[in-house]
């Protein structure tokens, strides 16, 4: 296992962290406890020393599973990271209640790395004004939590605002992969470099974009096969993130023992600045090919919002683009099904307000029916059918 600095802290973290939100399950959706424990302990035995969870992962059972897996001496070998579910915090007292429940689930008296979960600008402003930073300091003072951080899904500007608001942050967790270098709704390379320059440890989640980058369509696979050093698509994605010296640890949400074995081996081969210029050019070629496959030139800027009829245009377009670009329309249809009916593409009344505000001049009223036909009605997508 390779180990990397964790920002300004006196701690070297394993290059690979175990993300505990996609553990193996059995019929009914419950965690396959024997297999999950076997996977976690194998990873720890191979040098993984950072486990990441969250209050709501696996319906709350992820933290319980970790508590069981770390019995028998394993707790002393790792650092636990988990998160305050900010969406469930409505008053100050909720913070203590939720943290104490997490400590009980994890069967521990302290959580090493504690994060505010899923910060976007509105959620951050709510918990900030509620006094959550002061609460974090009090929970650290009484020994229930160690290092303070937050996980994040918003623009680089919002990331900078959060970091500069409080000097006591020890680390942050951002989504980062070779497709999210400059995504307006994620920290990107700009945010990564800013956080690292401020001395924060940087935890990377979604290095494979939720698995989309691990199962490439044929056109992408053909590009990877041109490489002199052969790697799976998953390893290309992981090695690209590890190539950045600002990254402290890369989380992988592993579901099978094979994934654990492969990722542990990949981490052992990792390091900053290890990819050659030719290999970096190959990654750029893959990125360009994916972007060319994206049917709607939507940048998720949100300028089209709010829709007077309640449609969430960026979400519908984003789901559709991912389904087409990554050859995963079945998965996209599941995601689209989770969108409230009144906010789906089918609710469009063709008023045209969105098009007047779109900086990309997208014919939104023409695209929305196509999106709903493919995602909501199961129609096939014909790439030649473009507005």
Is residue 303's pLDDT more than 90? no
Query: Same domain for 100 and 199?
Result: yes
Query: Same domain for 69 and 195?
Result: yes
CB within 8 Å of 40: residues ≥ 6 apart: 18, 20, 51, 65, 66, 69, 74
Does residue 284 fall inside a structural domain? no
**DSSP-based three-state secondary structure for 232:** coil
Query: Same domain for 134 and 244?
Result: yes
* Mean pLDDT, all residues of the chain: 94
β-strand pairing of 3-5 with 12-14: antiparallel
Range of the domain at 146: 3-275
Residues 324-369: tens digit of each pLDDT: 999 999 999 999 999 999 999 999 999 999 999 998 899 999 999 9
Query: Same domain for 201 and 256?
Result: yes
Question: What CATH number did the domain enclosing 166 receive?
Answer: 3.20.20.100
At which of 275, 309, 343 does a domain end?
Answer: 275
Residues 288-297: tens digit of each pLDDT: 999 999 999 8
Query: Same domain for 270 and 353?
Result: no
Q: What is the pTM of this model?
A: 0.90
What is the spatial distance between Cα 60 and Cα 38, in angstroms, rounded to a whole number? 20
What is the spatial distance between Cα 247 and Cα 163, in angstroms, rounded to a whole number? 17
Query: What is the reported pLDDT for 228?
Result: 94
Does residue 107 fall inside a structural domain? yes
Query: What is the reported pLDDT for 34?
Result: 96
Query: Same domain for 163 and 23?
Result: yes
What is the spatial distance between Cα 111 and Cα 106, in angstroms, rounded to a whole number? 9
At which of 275, 306, 337 does a domain end?
Answer: 275
Does residue 288 fall inside a structural domain? no
Query: Same domain for 137 and 264?
Result: yes
pLDDT tier at 27 (50, 70, 90 boundaries)? confident
Average the pLDDT over 42-65 and give the result. 96
Does residue 283 fall inside a structural domain? no
Query: What is the reported pLDDT for 342?
Result: 92
Query: What is the reported pLDDT for 299?
Result: 83
Average the pLDDT over 131-140 and give the result. 96
Residue positions counted in the chain:
387
Does residue 211 fall inside a structural domain? yes
Does residue 287 fall inside a structural domain? no
Query: Same domain for 93 and 226?
Result: yes
Query: Same domain for 237 and 316?
Result: no
Does residue 366 fall inside a structural domain? yes
Query: Same domain for 310 and 203?
Result: no
At which of 275, 309, 325 does a domain end?
Answer: 275
Query: Same domain for 126 and 270?
Result: yes
Residues 215-240: tens digit of each pLDDT: 899 999 999 999 999 999 999 999 99
pLDDT tier at 48 (50, 70, 90 boundaries)? very high
State what percent of residues in the chain have pLDDT above 90. Answer: 91
Query: Same domain for 235 and 96?
Result: yes
Of 205, 190, 129, the closest CA to residue 155 belongs to 190
Total tally of structural domains belonging to the chain: 2
Query: What is the reported pLDDT for 255?
Result: 94
Average the pLDDT over 113-138 and give the result. 95
Does residue 317 fall inside a structural domain? yes
């Amino acid at each position: 296992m390779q180990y990397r600095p964790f920002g300004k802290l006196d701690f070297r973290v394993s290059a690979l962290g175990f993300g505990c939100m996609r553990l193996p399950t059995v019929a009914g959706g419950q965690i396959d406890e024997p297999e999950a424990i076997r996977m976690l302990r194998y990873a720890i035995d191979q040098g993984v020393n950072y486990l990441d969870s969250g209050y709501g992962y696996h319906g709350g059972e992820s933290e319980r599973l970790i508590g069981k897996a770390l019995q028998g001496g394993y707790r002393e070998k790792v650092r636990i990271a988990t998160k305050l579910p900010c969406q469930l915090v409505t008053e100050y007292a909720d913070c203590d209640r939720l943290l104490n429940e997490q400590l009980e689930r994890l069967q521990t008296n302290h959580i090493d790395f504690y994060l505010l979960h899923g910060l976007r600008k509105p959620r951050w402003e709510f918990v900030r004004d509620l006094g959550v930073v002061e609460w974090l300091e009090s929970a650290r003072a009484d020994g229930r939590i160690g290092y303070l951080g937050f996980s994040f899904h918003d623009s680089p500007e919002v990331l900078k605002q959060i970091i500069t608001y409080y000097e006591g942050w020890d680390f942050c967790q951002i989504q980062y992969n070779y497709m999210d270098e400059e995504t307006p709704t994620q920290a990107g390379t700009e945010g990564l470099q800013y956080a690292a320059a401020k001395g924060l440890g940087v935890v990377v989640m979604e290095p494979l974009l939720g698995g989309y980058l691990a199962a490439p369509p044929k056109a992408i696979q053909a590009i990877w096969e041109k490489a002199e050093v052969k790697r799976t698509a998953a390893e290309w994605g992981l090695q690209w993130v590890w190539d950045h010296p600002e990254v402290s640890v890369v989380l992988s949400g592993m579901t099978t023992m094979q994934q654990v074995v492969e990722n542990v081996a990949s981490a052992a081969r990792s390091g900053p600045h290890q990819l050659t210029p030719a290999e970096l050019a190959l990654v750029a070629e893959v990125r360009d090919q994916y972007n060319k496959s994206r049917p709607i030139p939507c940048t998720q800027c949100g300028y089209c919002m709010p829709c007077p009829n309640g449609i969430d245009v960026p979400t519908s377009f984003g789901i559709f683009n991912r389904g087409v670009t990554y050859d995963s329309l079945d998965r996209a249809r599941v995601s689209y099904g989770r969108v409230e009916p009144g906010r789906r593409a089918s609710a469009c009344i063709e008023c045209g307000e969105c098009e007047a505000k779109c900086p990309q001049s997208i014919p939104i009223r023409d695209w929305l029916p196509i999106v709903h036909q493919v995602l909501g009605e199961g129609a096939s997508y014909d790439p030649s059918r473009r507005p």
